[in-house]
Amino acid sequence: MRLALLSRNRKLYSTRRLIEAARARGLRTRVVDPLRCYMSIGPGEGQIHYKGKRLEEISAVLPRIGASVTAYGTAVLRQFEMMGVYTPNPSDGILRARDKLRASQLMAQRGLGLPFTVFGDSPDDTADLLDMLGDAPHVIKLIEGTQGQGVLLAESRSAAESLVEAFRGLEAQFLVQEFIKEAKGSDIRAFVVGGKVVAAMQRTAKPGEFRSNLHRGGSARQISISRAERETAVAAADAMGLGIAGVDLLRSTRGPLVLEVNSSPGLEGIEKATGLDVAGMVIDHIIRQITRRTRRRT
């Protein structure tokens, strides 16, 4: 078995841990920078070359594609898929999760709990758009933002209008959502692998900050989550078509609400908060899937 790990930086914690876990299980692993891949495409014939040589005999590919290289990274991943290589996170699933508007629509279609969300394009409709949402505070977020970037809190109606106008002036695509006060600056990261929540942590924002992302100084601790929260996290990952996902949830008076589904969830925070070998669980899932596919072929 041979695993290609799509990552631009082998020194990152998540990449290092996945390499360690794979090699500990006898899975040959190669880190592949997706931007150094180049492809030939033709009917019934496809190739991927990397640094002057053809990539061959790859059993599975695990994408760790950053938001800044989504388009090219998913094109490379799609080429692997066309060549029959297994991946737990297909290119279409990554694209669904990266587009917050599309992700929200897909999850709403499944009946999953979400913060009430509005979206519009014309500046002439801003007043009615915010009326649909209700009283401030409002959360305004870029459709393709990550790690809390492009997420702003408008404490008042006038602040919301100003931020909406600013985003439109930049020709940015964004959503406006209700602010869930009862969450009190905390959210849950549920790590889903193969249709199961294998680890969960509660993240809490630092004082003066409403975003709980660990990259923004938030703190984390291991927690037990409810059956409803587990079912919601698994359903959200499934709605995106992802076998491995970090699902961010808010606890609200109307039940768990999905904030976001991350197709390349970081391992450092969840492993340090829980003490669990999450990287090992990811690799075990991939090995099981490769084995099943091999058995079906023989």
**DSSP for 142-176, written as a single string:** ETT--TTTTEEEE-SHHHHHHHHHHHHHTT--EEE
Q: Given this model, what pLDDT does residue 215 score?
A: 60
Q: Given this model, what pLDDT does residue 76 score?
A: 97
Look up residue 46 and give its two tokens: 């496809």
Q: Given this model, what pLDDT does residue 214 score?
A: 62
Domain ranges of the chain: 2-89, 117-179, 182-263
* Topology at the third CATH level for domain 2-89: Rossmann fold (3.40.50)
Q: Given this model, what pLDDT does residue 10 score?
A: 92
- Each residue's pLDDT tens digit, 265-277: 999 999 999 999 9
Q: Given this model, what pLDDT does residue 146 score?
A: 59
Peptide bond into 63 cis (omega under 30): no
Distance CA 17, CA 23 (A): 10
DSSP H stretches of helix in 25-155: 70-82, 91-98, 100-109, 126-133
Strand 2-6 relative to strand 60-63: parallel, antiparallel, unpaired? parallel
Distance CA 16, CA 25 (A): 14
Look up residue 156 and give its two tokens: 């008042």
117-179 belongs to CATH 3.30.70.920: no
The stretches in the chain having pLDDT less than 50 are: none
DSSP-based three-state secondary structure for 1? coil
Residue 282 backbone dihedrals phi, psi, to 5 degrees? -65, -50
What's domain 182-263's superfamily in CATH? ATP-grasp fold, B domain (3.30.470.20)
Q: Given this model, what pLDDT does residue 265 score?
A: 96
Distances (CA, A) of 84 to 12, 43, 277: 28, 14, 29
Q: Given this model, what pLDDT does residue 168 score?
A: 83
Q: Given this model, what pLDDT does residue 147 score?
A: 57
Residue 24 backbone dihedrals phi, psi, to 5 degrees? -65, -25
